[in-house]
Amino acid sequence: MARRAETIELAVLGLLHESPMHGYELRKRLNLMLGWGRVLSYGSLYPALKKMLRKHLIEEETQSVTPVTRRPRIVYQLTPAGEREFTQLMSEVGPMAWEDDNFDIRFAFFGRTDMEIRLRVLEGRRSRLQERLDRVQRELAMTQKEVDSYARELQRHGVESVEREVRWLSSLIDAERNPKPVLDEQATGRGELGDDDGVRDGADVSRTAQSSQENEK
């Protein structure tokens, strides 16, 4: 539970870094970010918000009554301490940064980190998945004759999922090290559908993010 709370806190800090939001909007954006398999309830969100209020990472602002709600609406926004905390968390590159939940959130806010940090997190995630893949493949070889066809199919599906993510990460790492203008891909027709759609999409995300950062600078 502690790790999940930290993940929610990082996600809230990142979203409020974009703009102030009320609780309903925060929950909706968090659920989109966390994915359909990890729906966030108000019972998880509001305790996290109260904790962040106590730590002075966020603050409340009461808006005027609206014709729809007929009651004041509370909007949450970052404090200077919250901005510093978000910057600090996004600069960390230890094992927590590439664990399953934290990596997803970190990746969503990659546009706010520099290339060296992005590379270290991506490489750490790839190494962790490769270790997991090697272990599962060894176990598969030893248990192949001991499980039925359905269990083997589930194991195969798991291996293929990890292999796809490793390929995706490798393409992102390559794009970070060798950035190319997005227009180059469009001109060469690489946007066409094919077996490597997922990998190409990942590279496009990284390159587009880099292009946006350069334009902002």
| Spatial distance between the Cα atoms of 74 and 24, rounded to a whole number of angstroms | 10
Strand order in the sheet with 73-78: 21-22, 73-78, 58-63
List CB contacts of 196: < 8 A, sequence separation 6 or more. Answer: 167
Cα angle vertex 92, ends 54, 39, to 5°? 60
Question: Are the CB atoms for 39 and 66 separated by under 8 Å?
Answer: no
pLDDT of residue 37: 55
Q: Which of 84, 2, 85, 102 is nearest to 48 (CA)?
A: 2
| Spatial distance between the Cα atoms of 170 and 167, rounded to a whole number of angstroms | 5
Ordered per-residue pLDDT tens for the chain, 217 residues: 456 778 889 999 999 999 999 988 998 888 888 765 566 777 788 899 999 999 999 999 887 665 665 677 889 999 999 999 999 999 988 888 888 878 988 999 998 889 999 999 999 999 999 998 888 888 777 676 667 778 778 888 888 999 999 999 999 999 999 987 654 444 444 344 444 444 444 445 554 445 444 444 4
pLDDT of residue 102: 84
| Helix and strand element counts for the chain (H, E) | 9, 3
- Categorise residue 189: left if φ over 0, alpha if ψ from -120 to 50, beta otherwise: left
| Spatial distance between the Cα atoms of 126 and 132, rounded to a whole number of angstroms | 10
